[in-house]
């Protein structure tokens, strides 16, 4: 056992977070901590890291166990280069290697049991630290975190805040602590980096405890799930999908047991009421009362925590051609990409690519926040845009939640505004809260409420799932899946992309390429440009029409043959061997019904094919 919490209690003021908390880390487990927002996931990580103390309870941790957490990973001297920083930080690995070489030479000359024992122990420590592969691993980790070879010579202070965080993350991974603590490790990473990180963590030789709202990441990395629900934790073996299945099965069993007990209670209460005032049955009634009092009442299991209820609709249908980009060059001082594409009504286009390739810049250009460098961009007739900015720049820090909605939609009365806010989980005095003190998740819900009220027919969404918990993501997916308008969105959430996107625009090496495929298919399918895709699509339509015509001819032949067969069977009804034999007549009628039904199905299929051929 690497780490254990027993009977842990933690509160913040009057808010209870944990009560009789039980938690443990064993061996090289990969533990995902899940639960609704506010349940205590990050608090648990901070208790493990030592940033927060328990109010009550016992923690067992071996002195030899090293903990690693990103918030505690920093750089002592930001004046020196990345290469020098990492060389200093991991100098002990090179020192171990030097000591091993010295000891190896010494062991060649004489047999020394003590020296051999020391050599074996140091060799084991060297291998566990990744000594043989450390230099190549360091370069790989830094490259995958988005750094090029020239960056190794730059001082730490010259990097942006986000780049420093990724450098610290690389340093943390390379230090290989016995327990690696990660809070939302996929935040602000592009998809290719997330996929690399998954592989790295799967084969990480020690324990990991992490919090994430990325469902693919949870499925790939976790082999144990700890669910925080109602001040307590429940441990499940397996990945996230396995956890969901086990939890739902448990809830069904608990609900079944609860309902059975409720029926038993109702039956006993009815008996008590019936006999308690009859002298001859009073003793019987009293025994049932005592039985009920002694009965350990089952709790009704709780379902998943509720999430917001959005319903996106368009007040105007708008043109079929929603957005046309013709040789559009986007960027700021330097061009990022040249794009030509056409978005039609009802398309749901995921904009994908590595960080810095121009995804958000494209969205900002379309909504007019960044000027187009060259080319032509045309919005269709009566196309109204609803924009979700990942930086939430639309908000005024001076306003309350209620004012944010009411100022933008003054035609609504107070009751209507509060009703809308209630659908997005703002109830009671929450509506008078200043936007400035709202959490990231609350700001996202508020912005989605404004988008819903706008009733735009083109939604442009920049990372809309950031700050949403999993139930929130599922609620947004359900709302967007039912939306009949057009969506252009940026997201690093692969599950969200799979659920929503009907096509992808992928930024790669200064150009944008269209994929009518899902994320997994993209890896194995060849790249198809927009123009090539249109040609391929037309050829596919022609081939499909030929296939339909062939099937139509085949169906017509089958209908003719079946009708001939039906006529022959009907004629047999008048033959003596059938109308004198009840069983034979019954069997014949069954055959007639079967052929009749088959003809009906064939005709329905023929009508469907005929309609498809005429529509091609």
pLDDT computed for residue 589 by the predictor: 73
The C-alpha angle 340, 341, 345, rounded to 5 degrees, equals 160
DSSP H helical segments within 145-281, as ranges?
A: 161-175, 191-202, 215-221, 240-275
Cα(317)–Cα(313) distance, rounded to whole angstroms? 10
Q: Which pair of structure tokens corresponds to residue 111?
A: 């047999």
Cα(300)–Cα(307) distance, rounded to whole angstroms? 20
Strand 458-462 and strand 486-490: pairing? Answer: parallel
Nearest to 325 by CA among 284, 287, 285, 373: 373
Mark the ranges of the chain whose per-residue pLDDT is less than 70.
280-281, 303-306, 393-397, 516-545, 573-574, 576, 578-582, 607, 611, 613-616
Q: Give burial (CB, 10 Å; 0-12/13-18/19+) of 297.
A: exposed
Cα(164)–Cα(185) distance, rounded to whole angstroms? 14
pLDDT computed for residue 393 by the predictor: 61
Architecture of domain 321-528: 3-Layer(aba) Sandwich (3.40)
* Helices and strands, counts by H and E, the chain: 20, 18
pLDDT computed for residue 528 by the predictor: 42
Q: What is the pLDDT of residues 33-79, one digit of tens each?
A: 998 877 899 999 999 999 999 999 999 998 889 999 987 777 888 89
Write down the pTM of the prediction: 0.72
On the CB side of 350, CA atoms within 13 Å amount to 26
Q: Strand, helix or coil at 512?
A: strand
Cα(455)–Cα(484) distance, rounded to whole angstroms? 11
Cα(481)–Cα(486) distance, rounded to whole angstroms? 11
Helix (H) or strand (E) holding 359: helix 359-366
Domain ranges of the chain: 244-294, 321-528, 536-615
């Amino acid at each position: 056992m690497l780490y254990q919490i027993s009977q842990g209690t933690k509160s913040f003021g009057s808010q209870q977070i944990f009560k009789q908390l039980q938690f443990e880390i064993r061996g090289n487990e990969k533990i995902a901590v899940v639960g609704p927002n506010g349940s205590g996931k990050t608090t648990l990580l901070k208790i493990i890291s030592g940033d927060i103390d328990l109010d009550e309870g016992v923690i067992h941790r071996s002195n030899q166990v090293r903990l690693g957490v990103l918030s505690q990973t920093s750089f002592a001297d930001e004046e020196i280069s990345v290469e020098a920083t990492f060389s200093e930080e991991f100098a002990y690995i090179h020192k171990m290697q030097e000591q091993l070489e010295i000891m190896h030479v010494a062991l060649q000359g004489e047999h020394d049991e003590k020296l051999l024992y020391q050599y074996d122990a140091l060799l084991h420590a060297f291998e566990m630290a990744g000594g043989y592969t450390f230099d190549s691993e360091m370069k790989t980790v830094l490259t995958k975190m988005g750094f090029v070879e020239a960056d190794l010579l730059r001082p730490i202070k010259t990097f942006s805040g986000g780049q420093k965080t990724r450098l610290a993350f690389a340093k943390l991974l390379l230090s290989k602590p016995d327990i690696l603590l990660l809070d939302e490790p996929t935040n602000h990473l592009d998809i290719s980096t997330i996929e690399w990180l998954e592989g790295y963590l799967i084969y990480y030789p020690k324990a990991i405890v992490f919090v994430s709202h990325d469902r693919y990441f949870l499925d790939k990395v976790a082999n144990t799930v700890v669910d925080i629900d109602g001040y307590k934790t429940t441990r499940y073996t397996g990945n996230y999908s396995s956890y969901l299945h086990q939890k739902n099965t448990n809830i069904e069993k608990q609900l079944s047991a609860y309902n059975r007990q409720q029926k038993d209670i109702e039956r006993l209460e009815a008996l008590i009421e019936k006999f308690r005032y009859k002298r001859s049955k009073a003793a019987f009634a009293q025994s049932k009362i005592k039985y009920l009092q002694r009965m350990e009442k089952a709790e009704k299991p709780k379902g998943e925590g509720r999430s917001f209820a959005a319903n996106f609709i368009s007040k105007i249908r708008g043109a079929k051609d929603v957005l046309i980009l013709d040789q559009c060059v986007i960027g700021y001082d330097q061009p990022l990409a040249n794009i030509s594409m056409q978005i039609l009504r009802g398309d749901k286009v995921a904009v994908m690519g590595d960080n810095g390739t121009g995804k958000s810049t494209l969205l900002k250009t379309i909504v007019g926040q960044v000027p187009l460098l060259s080319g032509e961009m045309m919005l269709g007739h009566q196309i109204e845009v609803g924009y979700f900015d990942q930086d939430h720049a639309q908000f005024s820090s001076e306003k309350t939640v209620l004012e944010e909605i009411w100022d933008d939609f003054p035609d609504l009365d107070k009751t209507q505004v509060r009703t809308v806010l209630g659908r997005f989980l703002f109830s009671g005095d929450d509506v008078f809260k200043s936007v400035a003190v709202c959490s990231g998740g609350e700001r996202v819900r508020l912005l989605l409420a404004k988008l819903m009220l706008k009733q735009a027919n083109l939604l442009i969404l920049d990372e809309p799932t950031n700050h949403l918990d999993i139930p929130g993501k599922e609620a947004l997916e359900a709302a967007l899946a039912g939306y009949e308008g057009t969506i252009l969105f940026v997201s690093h959430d692969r599950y969200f992309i799979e659920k929503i996107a009907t096509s992808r625009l992928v930024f790669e090496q200064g150009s944008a390429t269209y994929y009518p495929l899902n994320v997994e298919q993209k890896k194995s399918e060849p790249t198809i440009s927009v123009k090539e895709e249109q040609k391929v699509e037309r050829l596919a339509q022609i081939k499909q029409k030929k296939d339909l015509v062939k099937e139509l001819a085949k169906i017509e032949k089958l209908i003719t043959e079946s009708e001939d067969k039906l006529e022959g069977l009907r004629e047999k009804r008048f033959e003596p061997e059938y109308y004198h034999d009840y069983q034979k007549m019954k069997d014949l009628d069954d055959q007639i019904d079967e052929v009749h039904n088959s003809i009906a199905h064939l005709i329905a299929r023929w009508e469907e094919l005929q309609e498809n051929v005429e529509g091609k």
